[in-house]
Amino acid sequence: MNSRELRSKLGITAAVLKKLVDEGMPRAKKGRVWQYDEAAVDQWLLDHGYAEPERPPGEVICETYDDLVVALGMTGKDPKRVIAGWVKVPGFPGTPGTPGKRNARLPVEQIKDWLATRDGGGEYAKQDDELRQLDRERRRLQIEFENRKLREQLDRLADVDEIAQFNRQCAADAQAMLRPLPDEVLALLPSRTTPRTRAVIHKKVTELLDDAFEAIARITRGDNDGEEDGQNSIKEKDGGKSQRQPQRGHTKKHKRRSSGGSGRSKRRK
C-alpha cells in the first residue's frame, strides 16, 4: 500500500507518518512511490509499542516483567533477570518490548505451557518451590527464636519478683528483730542513770532505727539512692548533737585563774 492508503488505515496525518518513518518503519520504493508492506508495518508497530496485539477472549497478557512476575508468583533474588533470559531463548512465546514502556507482550498461559514443555522447563518452578519452602522454614525458625527470647524474659521477670519478695521479707524480719533494741539498751544502763537521760537515749536509738528502716525500705523498693539518702538524713539529724560541747565550769575556772594571777601581780607591785 502507498502512503495515502497507510495513513487512511492507521488514521494518522502525513506528519505522524513521517515521524514513524524516521524512527524506522519499514518501506520500499517502487519507482517514484513509497510502498508499505502491511504485515511488516503491523509487526513494527507492535514491537515499538504503537499498537496492541489482539488478545483471545480470557487470555492474560502482561505488558511488563513486573506484571509477569506477579502473574507467575515468582520469588527469588532477581526474577526479572530470569525472564530476560527466557525471552532470548528461541521459541519463547512473547516479546520483551521497550524498556520503560508497557509494550511487552507476555501471554501468561502460553509461557506456563512453554516452561512445562521445554527441556528443563520445570527446573525454575522446582527451584521456586524450594525457595518458598526455605522461606517458610526461615520464618518458622525466626518465630521459634522470638518465642524463646520472650520466655526467657518472662522467666527473668519471675526471678526478679521472687527476689523482691525475698528482700521485703528480710526487711520485715529485720524490723521485727530490732524494734526491741531501745528497751534493751535502757536495760544495760547503770541504775543511777536519771530518767531524763534514759528518755533521751531511748529517743535517740529509736530515731536511728527509724532512719535505718527507711533506708532499707528504699533499697527494697529498688531506689539506688535510698541508702545514701538514709545516711545523709542520719547525719543531718545527728547534726551538732554528737559534737562535744565545751565545759562551762572549766572555762570559768580558767578565767578565774587568769584574773587571780593578774591581781597577785598587782599586789606585788
Distance CA 229, CA 235 (A): 10
Mean pLDDT of 255-261: 48
Q: So what's the pLDDT on residue 255?
A: 47
How far does CA 43 lie from the centroid of its chain? 54
Q: What three-state secondary structure class fits 18?
A: helix
Does the structure show a pLDDT above 50 at 5? yes
The yes-or-no verdict on residue 116 having pLDDT over 60 is: yes
Give pLDDT, residue 259: 47
Q: Which three cell numbers stand for residue 165?
A: 519478695
How high does pLDDT run on average in the chain? Answer: 75
Q: Could you tell me whether strands 33-35 and 28-30 are parallel, antiparallel, or unpaired per DSSP bridges?
A: antiparallel
Amino acid 240: pLDDT: 47
Structure confidence at residue 243 (pLDDT): 47
Q: Any idea where the domains of the chain sit in the sequence?
A: 1-51, 149-240
pLDDT over 60 (residue 188):
yes
Please say if the pLDDT value at position 99 is more than 70. Answer: yes
pLDDT band at 194 (very low <50, low <70, confident <90, very high): very high
Residue 207 reports pLDDT greater than 60: yes
Asked whether the CA dihedral 244, 250, 252, 257 is positive or negative, the reply is negative
Q: What is the pLDDT of residues 217-229, one digit of tens each?
A: 888 776 655 445 5
pLDDT for 151 beyond 70 = yes
- Identity of residue 86: W
Residue located via cell numbers 526455605: 134
Average pLDDT over residues 153-176: 77
Question: How distant, in Å, are the alpha carbons of 161, 182, 183, 206 from that of 199?
Answer: 42, 10, 10, 11
Q: Is the pLDDT of residue 251 over 80?
A: no
Q: What is the pLDDT of residue 178?
A: 86
Model pTM?
0.30
As a whole number of angstroms, the distance between CA 220 and CA 217 comes to 5
- Residue identified by cell 522447563 is 121
DSSP 180: T
Query: How far is Cα 156 from Cα 74, in angstroms, rounded to an integer?
Result: 44
pLDDT > 70? residue 252: no
- Which region among 11-25, 71-85, 187-201, 255-269 has the lowest average model confidence (pLDDT)? 255-269
Q: 52 or 9: whose pLDDT is higher?
A: 9
Question: Identity (one letter) of the amino acid at 28?
Answer: A
Whether pLDDT at 52 is above 80: no
